[in-house]
Amino acid sequence: MTIDEQLKIIRRGTTEVIGEADIVDRIKKGQTLRVKLGVDPTAKDVTLGWAVVLRKLRDFQKLGHTACLIIGDFTAQIGDPSGKSKTRKQLTREDVLENVEAVTKQFYRILDPEKTVIYFNADWLGMMSFQDVIMLCSRYTVARILERDDFTKRLAENRPIAMHEILYPLCQGLDSVEIDSDVEIGGNDQKFNNLVGRTLMEQYGKPAQAVVLCPLLVGTDGKEKMSQSLGNYISITDTPNDMFGKTMSIPDEIIGNWFELCTDVPMEEVAEMLGEGKNPRDAKVRLAKEIVALYHSVEDADAAERYFIETFSKKVQPVDAEEVVIPSELVVEGMVNLPALIGGLGLAKSNGAAKDLITAGAVALDGEKVTEFRHELSALTGKVLKVGKHKFVKLIEG
RNA sequence: GGGGAGAUGCCCGAGUGGCCAAUGGGAACAGACUGUAAAUCUGUCAGCGAAAGCUUUCGCAGGUUCGAAUCCUGCUCUCCCCA
């Protein structure tokens, strides 16, 4: 593969490649690049948003390079201030370890384990003495740290910045020094931190890493960045049907962007699909199938499409709704209080919320809208309960 | 170290003794319309209860009062100005 072809792969779905010339040099010299990605173990699920940078890492692996994952078990206890207008809550060591375990398994759905090395940054950051920390701090200035726009903004808005937060970029930069990374991949919001890595590596007399920045994937709401705390996410472990359905719910404007960041479909083809006179819905169906195929299989993608058309486009009952047993304690003298059932099954936030849903006409039994709260047990069993647009369960007697 | 301001529901933000489970906006959820898109209209939005109603909420802990988000005391946290 020529250098240009390799660069085309590297550049897809990035906003900026800083130090690209260094990457080219090192590839020409035949080096196996050490490509760093910091992993913040604050979540249990790998979302499509997270997958963007993981897939970029995989691109490098495909070109023969080594992925260096830094598990931020130490830094997670500080909390990355990136994009946050508030001080993050600090995680306990147990939380971190639990998340790490859940998440590393999911990484290998994307990454090649043969070409992946995992580091824990507590191994070096946790060993530093206070004197080491002070020496580190002496290599950076307050003014430079405060250049960072989160900090600038917070200062301007009279919001607090805790001292430990300004150390976060330094910690992350030190990771790069420690593992001698050639390239660091990061989301756009990591630019500042990644650049600190470059500076720090030079300070320590090492060649500076290049930085590859990927845009942040917008969530299914089409507004905010995809994140687990906002609930606008698709997890790579979601079922094919969920993945498909959630993808179909994204606003039209972000379809192209999702193609670029979440699939390998050539951009020329994407432009074609989104051209004049084309129905964006068709592009979205293709997108949804591509995504399902990537994390499940082509067959699953086809099945998910069929399910989607049956259930939502034609509004037919799903055949394979999950079966759920009606808890016996909810049955009193043969009667069941439906709000309590819906609340109890977690289909609504609370019994009160379930009641509101029934009143709003959002609840149906075998396709028939329900208006009553109390029902005979016999009138419920064997029926498909629908709550809202896309929650279905089949009720079974306990 | 000195002086000043402030802490209200997911967020912003009204409310200064009873009419406050707390105005308004945003977010979210649901219904109609759709393409599980957008826009629009409507409804809901502390918990429990079929309901009457009950319980818990206005930084934290006490107190005054028949009655407190509102008054008093102490505490915690944050911001601003000066050093």
pLDDT at A205: 95
Can you tell me which residue has its alpha carbon closest to the C1' of nucleotide B77? Answer: A160
A361 touches strand B (CB under 7 A): yes
CB A104 within 8 A of CB A64: no
CA distance A60 to A117: 14
Distance A164 CA to B63 C1' (A): 39
A252: nt with nearest C1' to CA: B37
pLDDT at A169: 92
Sign of CA dihedral A145, A150, A152, A156: negative
CA distance A391 to A398: 21
pLDDT at A178: 96
A231 touches strand B (CB under 7 A): yes
- In chain A, positions 303-332 with C-beta closer than 7 Å to nucleic chain B are 308, 312-313
Query: Tens-of-pLDDT digits for all 398 residues of chain A?
Result: 899 999 999 999 999 999 999 999 999 999 999 999 999 887 788 999 999 999 999 999 999 999 999 999 888 776 665 555 455 555 667 777 888 888 999 999 999 999 999 999 999 999 999 999 999 999 899 899 988 888 888 888 888 888 888 898 999 999 999 999 999 999 998 999 999 999 999 999 999 999 999 999 999 999 888 988 777 899 999 999 999 999 999 999 999 999 999 999 999 999 999 988 899 999 999 999 999 999 999 999 999 999 898 887 776 666 677 888 998 888 888 889 999 999 989 899 899 999 999 999 999 998 888 989 999 998 899 888 999 888 889 999 86
pLDDT at A318: 66
pLDDT at A223: 87
pLDDT at A313: 72
pLDDT at A224: 86
Sign of CA dihedral A169, A174, A177, A181: negative
Say which amino acid occupies A101. E
A220 touches strand B (CB under 7 A): no
pLDDT at A6: 96
Strand B positions with any atom < 7 Å from protein CB?
A: 27-32, 35-38, 43-51, 78-80
- What DSSP element (H or E) covers A1? none
Distance A154 CA to B17 C1' (A): 37
Distance A5 CA to B44 C1' (A): 55
A369 touches strand B (CB under 7 A): no
Work out the number of other CB atoms within 10 angstroms of the CB of residue A197.
Answer: 26
A334 touches strand B (CB under 7 A): no
Sign of CA dihedral A70, A76, A81, A84: positive
Percent composition of chain A: helix, strand, coil (DSSP 3-state, to 5) = 50, 15, 35
A250 touches strand B (CB under 7 A): yes
What's the token pair of residue A51?
């997958």
Give A243's strand partners. Answer: none
- In chain A, positions 136-155 with C-beta closer than 7 Å to nucleic chain B are 155
Distance A269 CA to B1 C1' (A): 68
Question: Side by side, which strands form the sheet with A331-332?
Answer: A331-332, A335-337, A374-376
CB A94 within 8 A of CB A190: no
pLDDT at A330: 86
Long-range contacts of A138-143 (CB under 8 A, 24+ apart): A139/A200, A139/A203, A140/A170, A140/A196, A140/A199, A140/A200, A142/A166
CB A256 within 8 A of CB A225: no
pLDDT at A368: 87
A351: nt with nearest C1' to CA: B48
CB-facing half-sphere around the CA of A63: CA atoms within 13 A: 27
